[in-house]
C-alpha cells in the first residue's frame, strides 16, 4: 500500500477507535444516570390500599421504566433491561461499569458479565465478576461469551442438576414476526431434546429426499408438517407440493382476528389484510385462514376510505361486539410503545365507571395488565382525545399521544354496552 494511503487509513482507524471509546464512556455514563433517576423516581399518589411496600416499590420501578421507554422511544422490555443493568452496576458492579467507562470493554462484554453474574447466588457474584473481567478486555464478545459460560459453570456453587431442574420450568414457545409474511418459531427446551429434534427432522428430510442431505427450506417444511399434522413426508418434494401444503394448511383451525379490505376478500385488488399478532398478510392467505377458522371475526373496510362497514354482528351479543370492536380498533395495548396484542389485554374505562365514565367506544381502551396497573396506581394519567386517540401524561409531566391501530368511525355499527 502506498505510504500516503497507509497514513490515511491509520488516521481514520485511530479516530474510529477514539470514537468507540467515547461511545463506551457515554454508555457507562448513561447507565449511571439511569440508576440515579430510578433511585430518585417517586409516585406522587399514595399507594393503592392493599399494596405492600414491596409491591408499591415495584410499581414505582415499572412506572419509571415506562417513562424511560417513551423517553428513548424503545420497547419497554429494553427499558426494563436498562434499569436492571444500571441498578446492578450502581450497587454491585462498579468495577464492570468503570471498565466500560474507560473503553476497555464494550457494552456487549458488560452485558455478558451482568448476565452471568446475576445467574449465580449472591455470595458467589464478586468472585465471578472479578474472574470474568480478567478475561474480558482481550477477547471479542463472541470469544468472551464462550469463556464466560465455562467460568460460570466452574464457579457456580450449586450442582448442575439443581440448576437444570429450575431452568426446565422456563420451557416455552413463542413467535417472532419477520418480514414478507414470515415468522420465526422459537422453542426454549432442554439442549439434548433440541439437538434430538433437529437430528430427527434432518433424518426425515433426508429420507424424503432419498439421501442424507437436506436444505434449510426442506427441514422447515418437514418440521411444519410434523407439528401441524403429526405426519412426516415420505416422498421427495412432497412437503413442497402445493396440494400437500393445502392439506397441511387445512388442518389449521384458528380463531382469527383479521381485517380485510372488502374488495380484497372478493378477490378484487391486492390490498393487504392484517392478522392479529403478526401484521400484514396477503389477501389469499387471509381468505384461506378465514375459511378454515372455526371462530373468526372479520372487519370489512371500505376500499378507498378504510371506513368500518361490517363486523359480523350475528355472532356476538352487543357487549361482546363492542369489546371486539375496541380490541380490533386498538390492535395492541394503548400505553406508549407497548405492542402486546389487544386480545391479551384488559378493556379499561378511561374515565372510571365509578366516577361516571360510560361503557362505550369513546371511553374504552385496551391496556395490558401491567400498564392497567400503572395507569391506576403508577402515577400516569390518560384522557381520550376522540377517534380512539389517547393522551398520556407521565409522572414527570411528559405528554405522549398514542394512536389506535385502525381509525374506524367511532362506534359505527357497534351497539353501546349496558
Grid cell of 337 as nine digits: 410503545
pLDDT at 83 over 80: yes
Q: At 92, is the pLDDT very low, low, confident or very high (cuts 50, 70, 90)?
A: very high
- For 407, half-sphere exposure in the C-beta direction (CA atoms, 13 angstrom radius) is 9
Selected residue with higher pLDDT from 273 and 88: 88
Selected residue with higher pLDDT from 203 and 335: 335
pLDDT at 292 over 80: no
> Measured in whole angstroms, how far is the alpha carbon of residue 169 from the centre of its chain?
20
Q: What is the DSSP string of 17-49?
A: HHHHHHHHHHHHHHHHHHHHHHHH---SSPPPT
When pLDDT is averaged across residues 11-16 and rounded to a whole number, the result is 93
What does the pLDDT read at residue 415?
30
CA distances in angstroms from 141 to 88, 113, 138, 406, listed in the order given: 20, 11, 10, 42
**Phi and psi torsions of 415, nearest 5°:** -75, 145
Cα dihedral 110, 113, 117, 119 in deg (nearest 10): 100
Residue 276: closest CA among 295, 262, 296, 256 = 256
Report pLDDT digits (tens) over 219-245: 888 888 788 777 766 554 444 456 655
Name, in order, each residue with C-beta under 8 angstroms of 218's C-beta and a sequence gap of 6 or more.
Answer: 205, 208, 209, 239, 240
Residue 318: closest CA among 366, 358, 360 = 360
Rounded to whole angstroms, the Cα distance separating 59 from 379 reads 9
Grid cell of 77 as nine digits: 422490555
> Measured in whole angstroms, how far is the alpha carbon of residue 311 from the centre of its chain?
28
Rounded to whole angstroms, the Cα distance separating 119 from 88 reads 13
pTM above 0.75, yes or no: no
Q: What is the DSSP string of 279-337?
A: EEE-HHHHHHHHHH-SEEEEEEE-TTT--EEE--GGGS-HHHHHHHHHHHHH-B--STT
- Angle, in degrees to the nearest 10, between helices 107-117 and 125-136: 150
What does the pLDDT read at residue 416?
30
Q: What sign for the dihedral angle of Cα 220, 226, 232, 237?
A: negative
Report pLDDT digits (tens) over 188-222: 988 778 877 888 888 777 765 555 555 677 788 88
What does the pLDDT read at residue 243?
62
When pLDDT is averaged across residues 361-365 and rounded to a whole number, the result is 85
- Angle, in degrees to the nearest 10, between helices 53-72 and 3-40: 150
When pLDDT is averaged across residues 344-359 and rounded to a whole number, the result is 84
Name, in order, each residue with C-beta under 8 angstroms of 311's C-beta and a sequence gap of 6 or more.
Answer: 297, 298, 299, 300, 321, 324, 325, 328, 413, 414
pLDDT at 384 over 50: yes
Q: At 277, is the pLDDT very low, low, confident or very high (cuts 50, 70, 90)?
A: low
The domain segmentation of the chain, as residue ranges, is 3-158, 172-249, 255-310, 313-402
Residue 258: closest CA among 231, 223, 225, 293 = 293
Q: At 284, is the pLDDT very low, low, confident or very high (cuts 50, 70, 90)?
A: low
Name, in order, each residue with C-beta under 8 angstroms of 291's C-beta and a sequence gap of 6 or more.
Answer: none
Amino acid at each position: 500500500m502506498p505510504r500516503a494511503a497507509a497514513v490515511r487509513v491509520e488516521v481514520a482507524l485511530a479516530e474510529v477507535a477514539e470514537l468507540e471509546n467515547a461511545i463506551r464512556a457515554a454508555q457507562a455514563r448513561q447507565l449511571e444516570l439511569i440508576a440515579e433517576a430510578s433511585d430518585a423516581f417517586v409516585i406522587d399518589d399514595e399507594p393503592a390500599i392493599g399494596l405492600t411496600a414491596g409491591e408499591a416499590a415495584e410499581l414505582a420501578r415499572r412506572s419509571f421504566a415506562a417513562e424511560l421507554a417513551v423517553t428513548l422511544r424503545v420497547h419497554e422490555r429494553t427499558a426494563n433491561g436498562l434499569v436492571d443493568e444500571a441498578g446492578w452496576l450502581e450497587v454491585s458492579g462498579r468495577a464492570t461499569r468503570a471498565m466500560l467507562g474507560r473503553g476497555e470493554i464494550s457494552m456487549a462484554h458488560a452485558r455478558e458479565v451482568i448476565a452471568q453474574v446475576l445467574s449465580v447466588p449472591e455470595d458467589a457474584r464478586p468472585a465471578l465478576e472479578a474472574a470474568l473481567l480478567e478475561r474480558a478486555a482481550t477477547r471479542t464478545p463472541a470469544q468472551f461469551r464462550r469463556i464466560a459460560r465455562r467460568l460460570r459453570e466452574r464457579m457456580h456453587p450449586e450442582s448442575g442438576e439443581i440448576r437444570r431442574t429450575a431452568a426446565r420450568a422456563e420451557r416455552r414457545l413463542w413467535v417472532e414476526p419477520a418480514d414478507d409474511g414470515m415468522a420465526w418459531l422459537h422453542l426454549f427446551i432442554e439442549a439434548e431434546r433440541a439437538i434430538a429434534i433437529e437430528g430427527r427432522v434432518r433424518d426425515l428430510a433426508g429420507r424424503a429426499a432419498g439421501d442424507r442431505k437436506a436444505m434449510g427450506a426442506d427441514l422447515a417444511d418437514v418440521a411444519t408438517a410434523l407439528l401441524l399434522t403429526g405426519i412426516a413426508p415420505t416422498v421427495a418434494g412432497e412437503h413442497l407440493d402445493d396440494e400437500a401444503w393445502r392439506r397441511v394448511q387445512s388442518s389449521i383451525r384458528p380463531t382469527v382476528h383479521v381485517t380485510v379490505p372488502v374488495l380484497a376478500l372478493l378477490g378484487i385488488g391486492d390490498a393487504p389484510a392484517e392478522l392479529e399478532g403478526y401484521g400484514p398478510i396477503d389477501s389469499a392467505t387471509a381468505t384461506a385462514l378465514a375459511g378454515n377458522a372455526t371462530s373468526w371475526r372479520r372487519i370489512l373496510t371500505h376500499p378507498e376510505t378504510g371506513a368500518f362497514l361490517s363486523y359480523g354482528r350475528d355472532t356476538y351479543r352487543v357487549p361482546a361486539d363492542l369489546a371486539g370492536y375496541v380490541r380490533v380498533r386498538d390492535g395492541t395495548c394503548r400505553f406508549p410503545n407497548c405492542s402486546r396484542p389487544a386480545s391479551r389485554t384488559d378493556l379499561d374505562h378511561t374515565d372510571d365507571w365509578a366516577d361516571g365514565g360510560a361503557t362505550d367506544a369513546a371511553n374504552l381502551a385496551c391496556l395490558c395488565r401491567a400498564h392497567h396497573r400503572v395507569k391506576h396506581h403508577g402515577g400516569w394519567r390518560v384522557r381520550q382525545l376522540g377517534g380512539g386517540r389517547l393522551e398520556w401524561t407521565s409522572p414527570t409531566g411528559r405528554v405522549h399521544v398514542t394512536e389506535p391501530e385502525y381509525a374506524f368511525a367511532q362506534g359505527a355499527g357497534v351497539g353501546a354496552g349496558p
